[in-house]
Chain A
Amino acid sequence: MNSKLIRSAGVFATASLVLVGLAACGSTPSKSSGSASSTTPLIIGQDVALTGAFSVLGVPESQGAKGTVAWLNAHGGILGHKVDLVVGNDQSSPQEAAEVAKQLITSDHATIIIGPEETSEVGAVATVAAAYHVIDIQTDPFQTWPPSEISSGSLEYVFPEIMGFDSTNASAYESAIWKAKGYTRIALLTDSTPFGTGMITPLEQVAKSDGLKIVGVQTFAAGSTDVTPQIQSLLGDKPQFLLDWTAPGPDTTIAVKTIRALSPTLPLGISGGQDTPATVGALGQTDADGLYAVTTIADGNVVNSVASSNPQKKIAEQFVQAMEGEHVNTDNGADTAYQGFDALYLIQNAAETAKSVSTSGLLNALEHQRDAGITNVWRRTPSNHGGDINLPGFIVRYNGRVWQYVQGS
């Protein structure tokens, strides 16, 4: 009797579970069917390094994206669609970046991917985006996708947020500092990361076109505990300005400290995203004093100082407002929060142009996008998904208290 009762209860329980499961499946809207109504959230996946070597770029970018999503949803979303941001940690690995992209698309049903932010990972994610026909807004500033790759289909869905970042940074130093002060002998110190070595060619191009002389280039292994030999070699070339283009973090710290020890008065500039109190804290007030850094218009010191006619001013003010409104601290190391903001702004702009969040509508809108963001001003075409017009960046200088905007940049 008891065994019959137990068996019956088991059958009843199993049947109940099956019925409940069928009901749940039936009530969940299929994300792959039909066009989204304005009640359907727009799921955006962010493929970003939250751990590992690139997390110094990825974490602020993710925070910027989250803050922007919160701000967007508080202001009606994108074409009335609430934005759901799903963040995947690629652990600073290209293989993991591809896996994260796949998961964001297949498991989380993201219809757009933003990221990754590092050069070594972009190819892997671009391949996934092409395979699944999903738009990928890449936030790495150093990729150079040629038009032939776009038309071949392998990069049809990829849209870089920034291109030629190094040339705009080199141009920023050239116009604000070197030309203004008559410096013609420039030395370059890099680390062995793609970020570091990526500056060599753009700097040589800027020097060639503007009559500057690159008197020396030295590269040290990332993570080195001593860079005295490299710096001594550069100082021996008698530069008037030394550009330290190393990845934000210990490489910049050891380079600046060693340069200041060996040559305390040599004008010195560092790479982007480091005009922060964290940099000053790591270097110390003495070594940070007088240091130049390149930044974007999103920097609070810059956006308040540039002319109203600057095409990026309005969007930069919107960014600052959005971050302050969502209490996102953009001053937390590498200042890449604006990259997360710009990626979402690109999507919003494309959706409003297309009046649609469908992939085909967004694709067409992005391929003809003409707008200004924080990272750049875009003039995209179907054969040129980069399309930026390479406006120079902005230079700031630490004056012992704050990072002050340098006029002329």
Chain B
Amino acid sequence: MTVRLANDLFAGLVTGCIYGLFGAAICVLFRVSRIVNIAIGDIAMFGTMLTSWLAGSVGLPLWLAIATALLAVSIGAYLYDLGIVSRIVAKGSNGFVLVTFFFTLALAMFLEGLASALYGQQVHSVPVIWTGGNFVVGSLVIQRAQVVVIVATVIFAGAFALYLRFTLTGKALTACGQNDVGARVVGINPARFRRLCLVGSAAAAALFGVLLSPLIGFTYSSGFSLGTAGLVAGAFASLVHPFRAVAAGIAIGIVEALIGGYVTSSYQEVLVYAILAVVILVRPRMLGALGEFA
């Protein structure tokens, strides 16, 4: 029983880190630009499929395939901001959040279609970057890919915390999120930071996908569920607190694992989201700034 609980908790921790990472990526962008990027999961999917193709079919060394894919995703995000997002911002809109949400939804569908056309319907995964056998502690089995995901979560969350707190650009990012008019008054360019966040979050998402793919495998349709899970984690952080999104994601992952292990496996996800809905009804302030858009 103890071993089973430990395995379930560990698996839930890993799943939660995945949700939390995507939630944090959504929060980072929303914090600066008020854009809800539902395409974050599909960006991760596309980056992973591209890496898999570069490493597998083209034959590049894994590190070069990852670097090339991240560069390609970053360039794509830059062009998307340049060509689409900046135009929406320039036009101005009363329903800015909704309008940009639908544009990112369109981006998600575009990436799905493109991945389907380029890479087909079968499953793709990238080799785990830390090769070797599983770790076994008693009867607790830990896969190396799981360790990589947890470490990536800690590094990302920690590095971002340090960046926001101790660097000038980090403080500028925070300023953009709190008051972009005020930020402009003091000489901060919100558009530049928005683009930086979009490119950075896209590259980070692609990297998360690469680290995650040895565990779950990706098809062209895998991204949307990841983006949705990240959105739920981000919602519990008001879409502006990346660290709370990571914590929320981990909590959701653990609750999901415990329900699957001890309540019901068939209706695991249904119950998890039902619980989340009840939590929001009881404590709507958890959604924070999102209440403005309800």
Contact = CB atoms under 8 A, between A and B. Distances in A.
- Are A and B co-members of a single complex? yes
A249 B119 CA distance: 13
B8 A232 contact: yes
Contacts of A282: 122-125, 217
A218 B253 CA distance: 19
Contact of B261 (A59, A232, A276): A232
Contact of B215 (A55, A56, A248, A257): A257
A278 B119 CA distance: 12
B261 A225 contact: no
A232 B214 CA distance: 20
Contacts of A253: 123, 125, 216-217
A225 B122 contact: no
Contacts of B141: 261-262
Q: Closest 5 interchain pairs by CB?
A: A253-B217, A229-B261, A228-B11, A229-B260, A333-B122
Nearest to A52: B221
Interface of B: 4, 7-8, 10-12, 14-15, 18, 56, 113, 116, 120-125, 127, 134, 141, 143, 214-219, 221-222, 225-226, 229, 253, 256-257, 260-262, 265-266, 268-269
User: Chain B binding site: helix, strand, loop or mixed by DSSP?
Assistant: helix
B140 to A, nearest CB: 10
Given A218-B265, A261-B141, A225 B4 contact: no
B269 A224 contact: yes
Given A56-B121, A261-B141, A282-B123, A236 B216 contact: no
Nearest to A218: B265
A192 interface: yes
A333 B134 CA distance: 28
B123 to A, nearest CB: 4
B122 A229 contact: no
B17 to A, nearest CB: 11
B216 A254 contact: yes
Given A56-B219, A221-B268, A250-B218, A230 B260 contact: yes
B121 A333 contact: yes
A284 interface: yes
Given A51-B116, A228-B8, A250-B216, A261 B127 contact: no
B236 to A, nearest CB: 18
Nearest to B217: A253
B257 A229 contact: yes
Contacts of A51: 113, 116
17 contacts: A51-B113, A55-B121, A220-B260, A224-B269, A226-B12, A226-B253, A228-B11, A229-B8, A229-B265, A232-B4, A249-B217, A249-B219, A250-B217, A250-B222, A254-B216, A254-B217, A278-B123
B144 to A, nearest CB: 10
Contact of A53 (B113, B143, B221): B221
A250 B224 CA distance: 14
B79 to A, nearest CB: 25
A26 interface: no
A34 interface: no
Contact of A221 (B10, B14, B269): B269
B232 to A, nearest CB: 13
A304 interface: no
Given A218-B265, A250-B217, A283-B217, 10 more contacts: A51-B116, A219-B265, A220-B266, A225-B215, A228-B260, A232-B8, A233-B261, A250-B216, A250-B219, A257-B215
Contacts of B14: 226
Interface of A: 51-53, 55-56, 59, 192, 218-221, 223-226, 228-230, 232-233, 236, 248-250, 252-254, 257, 261-262, 276, 278-279, 281-284, 332-334
B121 A229 contact: no
A59 B116 CA distance: 11
A226 B15 contact: yes
A55 B112 CA distance: 13
Contacts of B253: 226
A96 B291 CA distance: 37
A236 B7 CA distance: 13
A12 B86 CA distance: 52
B125 A228 contact: no
Contact of A229 (B11, B127, B221): B11
B274 to A, nearest CB: 13
Contact of A249 (B116, B123, B215, B269): B123
A282 B217 CA distance: 6
B268 A220 contact: yes
Contacts of A279: 123
Contacts of A226: 11-12, 14-15, 253, 256-257, 260
B215 A228 contact: no
A262 B4 CA distance: 11
Given A192-B266, A220-B260, A261-B141, A59 B121 contact: yes
A51 B123 CA distance: 15
B291 to A, nearest CB: 29
Nearest to A51: B116
A404 to B, nearest CB: 21
B260 A225 contact: no
A208 to B, nearest CB: 23
Nearest to A235: B4
A4 B123 CA distance: 68
Given A220-B260, A226-B12, A229-B261, A59 B120 contact: yes
